[in-house]
């Protein structure tokens, strides 16, 4: 897939509802101011029952238990205001489920706890372990829903024979597997293979170890890449997520600057920004990029998540450790390193928290406490340059302010205590 493709003609719906209109509106303001199908999962094990011996009452009891389990799950999801998994997330879940299925098969019939043994090899990394558990849960829930729909169709047709019973019996082992997945304990898995947990690799904790010009080195190296040269500019100056780059970032030249539109990732009913748009100052962008954009006027910049991750990993040593120091071999480039670095730069340039949150696609100021770093002992004498233009940021959702009521109460209490204290 090419990294830069021509924009579709006006009126197409290549972006979520409302984004196109907001993007065009923002671009017009700039000119005026200057004058998913789910693949079949692995077949579950057969039940301990025999479909020919299963009575209708027993079958209905299994169906009822399955329905109650799904109702309980849906209630919890509504309470959390969860959204359905995106197509990219489903593809990632499918890939992880195939991986675990292959690893279980490699263990052979002699394994007494194949699921736990397979998952144990991923337990040293907390992130990998939890991601695989999420994928296995998704697989089990998906299978339960599909089987329940099929047996409902048979019931409506009055077909309650061996085929229907055989299908109902498949529900039991899937529910058992779901319980087994939920019961997986990382510490127990680590003990099983006599391993210790790997320390978490925080992207923002890596920032203080990097040289001031590491992003410029990346841009210099990245410029020669025919595949990722445009995507690299977006990573450095926009702080976007890999999934957002995979969806396509829309870029347009306007007299006031470079207008960027990003369709948000990790968006829920009460979290994240469905889209965001902002201006970039052309003087802060690479000359070759500005020249190409002026010529094309508009473009869509894309990059596959997995391929981009591998590309950044390959460039890590060249960019982050040019002297090949042994103590810096663990430094690895990723989209989130650029994201944390941008938040840090915006803070040091005096941006308000709500503006920073909007720029990176968050809908709450509180979320920013997980991003970037704060310098102690005074700020830099020279502020880092940023390409983002503060007044050009737009989002469909207002950023929620941080809850400061608790802090005010504590401060008020301390002030009152000081006022009541006797003077000597």
Q: What is the mean predicted confidence (pLDDT) over 213-236? A: 94
Alpha helices in 81-125, H assignment, sequence order: 87-107, 114-120
Q: What is the pLDDT of residue 182?
A: 93
Q: Do 331 and 231 sit in the same domain of this protein? A: yes
- CA distances 342 to 90, 167, 213, 248, 386, Å, are 29, 53, 13, 20, 8
Q: Do 91 and 161 sit in the same domain of this protein? A: yes
Residue 12: which pLDDT band, with cuts at 50, 70 and 90?
A: very low
Q: Do 208 and 258 sit in the same domain of this protein? A: yes
Q: Do 324 and 362 sit in the same domain of this protein? A: yes
- Residue 345 maps to a domain: yes
- Residue 404 maps to a domain: no
Q: Do 80 and 111 sit in the same domain of this protein? A: yes
- Residue 411 maps to a domain: no
Number of domains in the chain: 2
**347: domain CATH number?**
1.10.443
> Which residues are CB-neighbours of 71 under 8 A, at least 6 positions away?
none
Q: Do 265 and 386 sit in the same domain of this protein? A: yes
Q: Do 217 and 333 sit in the same domain of this protein? A: yes
For 244, the domain range is 4-8+17-35+202-394
Question: Could you give the CA distance from residue 108 to residue 114 in angstroms, rounded to a whole number?
Answer: 8
Q: Do 82 and 31 sit in the same domain of this protein? A: no
Q: Of the residues 172, 192, 212, which one is the last residue of a structural domain?
A: 192
Q: What is the mean predicted confidence (pLDDT) over 198-208? A: 65
pLDDT in tens, 47-98: 445 555 889 899 999 999 999 999 999 998 888 777 788 788 899 999 999 9
Question: What separation, in Å, do the N-terminal and C-terminal C-alpha atoms of the chain show?
Answer: 78
Q: Do 278 and 350 sit in the same domain of this protein? A: yes
**Is pLDDT above 70 for 286?**
yes
Q: What is the pLDDT of residue 19?
A: 63
Is residue 259 within 8 A of residue 279, CB to CB? The reply is: yes
Q: Of the residues 142, 170, 192, which one is the last residue of a structural domain?
A: 192
Is residue 259 within 8 A of residue 277, CB to CB? The reply is: yes
Percentage of the chain surpassing pLDDT 70?
A: 77
Q: What is the mean predicted confidence (pLDDT) over 282-303? A: 95
Strand 388-394 with 298-301, pairing: unpaired
Question: Could you give the CA distance from residue 217 to residue 92 in angstroms, rounded to a whole number?
Answer: 32
Is residue 68 within 8 A of residue 144, CB to CB? The reply is: no
Q: Do 390 and 280 sit in the same domain of this protein? A: yes
Q: What is the pLDDT of residue 229?
A: 94
Q: Do 216 and 348 sit in the same domain of this protein? A: yes
- Residue 417 maps to a domain: no
- Residue 418 maps to a domain: no
Average pLDDT over the chain reads 81
- Residue 280 maps to a domain: yes
- Residue 403 maps to a domain: no
pTM of this structure: 0.63
Q: Do 146 and 223 sit in the same domain of this protein? A: no
């Amino acid at each position: 897939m090419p990294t830069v493709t021509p924009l579709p003609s006006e009126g197409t719906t290549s972006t979520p509802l409302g984004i196109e209109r907001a993007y065009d509106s923002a671009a017009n303001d700039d000119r005026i101011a200057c004058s998913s199908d789910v693949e079949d999962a692995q077949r579950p094990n057969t039940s301990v029952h025999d479909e020919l011996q299963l009575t209708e009452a027993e079958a209905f009891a299994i169906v009822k238990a399955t329905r109650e389990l799904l109702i309980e799950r849906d209630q919890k999801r509504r309470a959390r205001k969860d959204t359905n998994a995106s197509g990219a997330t489903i593809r990632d879940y499918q890939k992880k489920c195939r991986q675990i299925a292959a690893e279980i098969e490699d263990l052979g019939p002699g394994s007494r706890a194949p699921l736990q043994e397979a998952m144990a090899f991923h337990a040293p990394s907390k992130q990998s372990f939890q991601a695989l558990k999420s994928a296995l849960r998704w697989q089990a829930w998906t299978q339960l829903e599909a089987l329940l729909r099929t047996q409902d169709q048979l019931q409506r047709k009055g077909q309650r024979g061996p085929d229907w019973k055989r299908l109902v019996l498949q529900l039991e082992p899937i529910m058992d597997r779901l319980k087994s997945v939920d019961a997986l304990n990382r510490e127990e898995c680590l003990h099983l293979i006599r391993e210790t947990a790997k320390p978490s690799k925080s992207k923002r904790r890596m920032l203080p170890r990097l040289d001031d010009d590491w992003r410029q080195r990346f841009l210099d190296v990245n410029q020669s890449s025919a595949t990722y040269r445009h995507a690299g500019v977006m990573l450095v100056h926009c702080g976007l997520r890999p999934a957002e780059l995979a969806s396509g970032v829309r870029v347009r030249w306007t007299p006031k600057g470079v207008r960027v539109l990003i369709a948000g990732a990790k968006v829920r009913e009460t979290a994240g920004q469905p889209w965001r748009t902002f201006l970039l100052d052309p003087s802060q962008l690479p000359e070759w990029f500005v020249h190409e954009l002026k010529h094309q006027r508009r473009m869509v910049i894309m990059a596959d998540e997995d391929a981009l991750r591998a590309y950044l990993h390959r460039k890590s040593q060249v960019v982050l450790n040019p002297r090949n120091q042994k103590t810096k071999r663990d430094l690895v480039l990723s989209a989130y390193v650029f994201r944390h670095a941008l938040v840090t730069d915006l803070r040091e340039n005096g941006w308000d928290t709500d503006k920073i949150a909007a720029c990176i696609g968050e809908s709450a100021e509180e979320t920013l406490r997980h991003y970037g770093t704060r310098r102690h002992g005074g700020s830099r004498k020279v502020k880092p340059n940023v390409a983002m233009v503060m007044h050009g940021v737009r989002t469909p959702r207002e950023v929620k302010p941080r809850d400061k009521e608790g802090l005010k109460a504590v401060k008020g209490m301390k002030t009152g205590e000081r006022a009541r204290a006797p003077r000597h």
